[in-house]
Amino acid sequence: MTTKTRHWSDDVFAEMKAREISTVATIPDGGLTQLLNMVVADKNMRLVTLSTEEEGIGVATGQWLGGKRAMIAMQSSGVGNCINALGIPVTMRAPCLMLVTMRGQWGEFNPWQVPMGQATRTVLEAVGVRCFPVEHADEIGETFAAAADIAFHGRLSAAVLVSQRVIGAKGFGQK
């Protein structure tokens, strides 16, 4: 008898559905693959593939202004691209919910990933984003729910930072 273990993406997806998030803007990342595949498979959700992460800020803000809920899913290396654009949801009093898979932490092989990976939380908090770091897979769903609620109810920016320890360290040749 085999038992299928529940992946953290299942928990996040359930919380997305409960909060009626209909659009996910992303630059695809290996750590997000399972979640993004669930979004694509859901006929009531839309996946928007971006050419650069800051476009996601405009997508999320525009969706809110149009009466819909959206989120951005990205890797920590893309956070630096978003800093200036994060002024848009603040100005519009719109929520900006981000799910960020971290790099530059646990067992990182690529030295280029380390500076932004180490600075992600500090940089986001410096521009007013509420950060919710998660170190354990079984806490991601409830943390995502709390971040989504504070973002949507308070019209604030919030980011769930999923530790590289959860996602796993990558090596050359891996996605």
Model pLDDT for residues 53-111, shown as the tens digit of each residue: 999 999 999 999 999 999 999 999 999 999 999 999 999 999 999 999 987 677 767 77
Domain membership flag for residue 65: yes
User: Does 1 reside within a domain?
Assistant: no
Average pLDDT over residues 119-136: 96
Tell whether 126 is covered by a domain: yes
Residues 138-167 as b/e (b if ≥16 CB within 10 A, e otherwise) read: ebbbebbbebbebbbeeebbbbbbbbbebb
Model pLDDT, residue 90:
94
User: Is position 172 within any domain?
Assistant: no
Cα(105)–Cα(92) distance, integer angstroms: 33
Looking at the domain assignment, is residue 121 inside a domain? yes
- Res 59: pLDDT: 98
**pLDDT at residue number 173:** 54
**Both ends of the chain: CA-CA distance in Å?**
31
174: in domain: no
Q: What is the CATH number of the domain that holds 120?
A: 3.40.50.970
Asked, for residue 62, whether it belongs to a domain, the answer is yes
Residue 158 to residue 124: CA distance in whole angstroms = 9
Q: Is residue 119 part of a domain?
A: yes
Residue 118: what pLDDT?
Answer: 84
Range of the domain at 67: 8-167
Q: What is the pLDDT of residue 119?
A: 86
Tally of structural domains, the chain: 1
Q: pTM of the full predicted structure?
A: 0.92
